[in-house]
Structure 1
Amino acid sequence: MADRTPEAGTPATPENVVRQEGAQLDFSRDMSYADYLHLDEILGAQHPRSPDANEMLFIIQHQTSELWMKLVLHELGGAIAAIAQDALPPAFKMLARVSRILEQLVHAWDVLATMTPSEYSAIRPYLGHSSGFQSAQYRCIEFALGNKNAAMLQPHAHHPQRLALVRRAYESPSLYDEAIRLLGRRGLPVPASHTARDWTQPYVESAEVEQAWLTVYRDPRQHWDLYQLGEELTDLEDAFRLWRFRHVTTVERVIGFKRGTGGTGGVSYLRKMLDVVLFPEIWRLRTDL
């Protein structure tokens, strides 16, 4: 039987479907899909420097990752502000979204892993010293999650706007800082050294903070929203660790143990990052429960 549109007897040709659905075809005066998304700018932002066709994959992989990281920062900033205002339900939604975005970033490495060592070697000379190590947005994510390091400001010193962005994240309370401050506001015994400190300094694990979290985890019904916050933070760090791990394995697969284009040790540097624990007391308390 011939395919028909809802109007009996009218063939489902593209022209008839457009007419019957009332679809608009003339966008000479109205905003179109491409206009709204600025697709001309986005799709015109790929400028390979090498003659090798695989460079397009390399560029798009990193550009799309930067777009996802922009959303991560948007959601993390909202979550940090919400926790500071004791508004946990919106924060939970934002943190859950960040964890899902990190899953997307993990799977993005699967695509880059299709690039073989010889293919990467063909484009590497054209990359200069550019490196993901220099990503301002990634550094802001690290700082927002509490991994503070003043030396990581230096790669952005040549660009005032990017430096200001990274410095703001560096000088602000991290997600975990705000979570601990919330514990204190709820009457849990959190030391002043962890609720009012120099936010630029790396976080130092505290037995008192662990005891505060243990109080929450030993009586989830009484502290349900704080308990849920702890689990959202656990989910987030779990996803972040997977992203870091997939990064290491992809880099090792593609370049082995060569030094990174940005001057780091490459795989050796990335493996050190696997040992960084962002929310230490939340992981340690599981042993003591």
Structure 2
Amino acid sequence: MSEPSQPDSDRRAVRALEDGVQRDFTQAMSYGDYLDLDTLLAAQHPRSEPPQHDELLFIVQHQTSELWLKLMIHELRSARTLLAGDDLAPALKRLARVKHIQNTLTQQWDVLATLTPSEYALIRPFLASSSGFQSYQYRAVEFLLGNKNADMVKVFDHDPTARAMLAELLTEPSLYDEFLRYLARRGYAVPAAVLERDVTQPYRENDALVDTIAAVYAAPDEHWGVYETCEELVDVEDNFQQWRFRHLQVVTRTIGHKMGTGGSSGVDFLRRALDLTFFPELYTVRTRVGG
């Protein structure tokens, strides 16, 4: 008679190390070395007194967001450079990655949303005058996408590195500017007023450009690369608006209509951002499609 099989509870969940696995890192680079984890994991400095359990959540949420913003800036700058060099395919690859980063940033709000008003009230005083409004990398993303605002640069007078970065981006063409210049080089009718505009100013819709974009949407097979890029840009803006709205929701459920820690009106200030658009012609053209 055969022996009964060993119960699942008695089985050892052990995976033996293979002989080839690196064990000695006295002379070799480790995972922690490559990522500089000692620095990264020592960068969380809760300030609440007495210590509050939920402050680490608040810090990690915002630090990881800043890391994703850093990568997004890297990808957007690259996409802009590729468009300027008429290299459309890899530019679209960069934008595809940007969209995944945006999705991750939006989903992160779900973690912060577990912080109740009572829990947040215990750590809010220790934020003092700090606020997400002061994220220069967030402003850099907005500048790269075309929402230029010289007044925002002044907010970072205390931080020479941040100020220099934003001042540089303020005077450079946005991603959309480079896309429209790409269209002009490809023979599309892009108004001179658009091509010669002051790039330090927020982009303003141009009716004649809507006509040009409408012709693309009327015959997508004939303009596939441009058509695809238009839709990629709409995806990026749509994702950005979803991030803004999710931010608004989380702030509303956490602090209601209290003033923001950085001096803004809070929820009302965030709600006004939902009226901003980066690529206005790409939305206006939708009323033209199909007659």
Smaller-chain TM-score range?
Answer: over 0.9
CA shift digits 1:41-90 (9 cap, x unpaired): 11100000001110000000000000000010010001011111111100
Which residue is equivalent to 2:263?
Answer: 263
SS at match of 1:45: coil
Which residue is equivalent to 1:7?
Answer: none
Which residue is equivalent to 2:142?
Answer: 142
Give runs of aligned pairs for residues 274-289 of structure 1, distance below 5 A: 274-289=274-289
Which residue is equivalent to 2:9?
Answer: none
Give runs of aligned pairs for residues 77-156 of structure 1, distance below 5 A: 77-156=77-156
Separation in 1, partners of 2:14, 2:21: 14
- Count of aligned positions: 278
Structure 2: segments with no counterpart, 5+ residues: 7-11
Which residue is equivalent to 1:32?
Answer: 30
Letter in 2 for 1:30: A
CA shift digits 1:132-162 (9 cap, x unpaired): 1000100000111111111111111111111
SS at match of 2:17: helix
Which residue is equivalent to 1:246?
Answer: 246
Letter in 1 for 2:241: R
Off by >2 Å, runs of 4+ in structure 1: 11-14, 17-20
Deviation at 1:186, TM superposition (A): 1.3
Separation in 1, partners of 2:205, 2:72: 25
Given the two structures, how large is their TM-score scaled by the length of structure 2? 0.93
Separation in 2, partners of 1:212, 1:164: 36
SS at match of 2:155: helix
Structure 1: segments with no counterpart, 5+ residues: 3-10
Deviation at 1:13, TM superposition (A): 6.1
Give runs of aligned pairs for residues 14-53 of structure 1, distance below 5 A: 17-20=16-19, 22-50=20-48, 51-53=51-53
| 1:206 correspondence with 2:206 | yes
Separation in 2, partners of 1:13, 1:71: 37
Letter in 1 for 2:17: V
Separation in 2, partners of 1:164, 1:193: 28
Identity of counterpart residues, as a percentage? 53
CA shift digits 1:156-205 (9 cap, x unpaired): 11111110011111111111111111111111111111112211011110
Specify whether residues 12 and 201 from structure 1 end up closer, same or farther in structure 2 by C-alpha distance, changes over 3 A only.
Answer: closer
Specify whether residues 13 and 145 from structure 1 end up closer, same or farther in structure 2 by C-alpha distance, changes over 3 A only.
Answer: closer
SS at match of 1:147: coil
SS at match of 2:203: coil
Separation in 2, partners of 1:275, 1:284: 14
Q: Which moved more, 1:128-137 or 1:188-197?
A: 188-197
After superposition, the CA RMSD in angstroms is 1.4
Q: Does the Cα contact within 8 Å between 1:183 and 1:212 map onto a contact in 2?
A: no
Letter in 2 for 1:263: G
Given the two structures, how large is their TM-score scaled by the length of structure 1? 0.93
Which residue is equivalent to 1:6?
Answer: none
Deviation at 1:19, TM superposition (A): 4.2
Deviation at 1:12, TM superposition (A): 9.9
Which residue is equivalent to 2:169?
Answer: 169
Which residue is equivalent to 1:216?
Answer: 216
Separation in 2, partners of 1:256, 1:121: 12
Separation in 2, partners of 1:26, 1:219: 62
Separation in 1, partners of 2:80, 2:236: 13
Deviation at 1:18, TM superposition (A): 2.2
Which residue is equivalent to 1:5?
Answer: none
Separation in 2, partners of 1:12, 1:252: 45
CA shift digits 1:187-241 (9 cap, x unpaired): 1111111112211011110011111111111111221100010010011111111
Letter in 2 for 1:37: L
SS at match of 2:263: coil
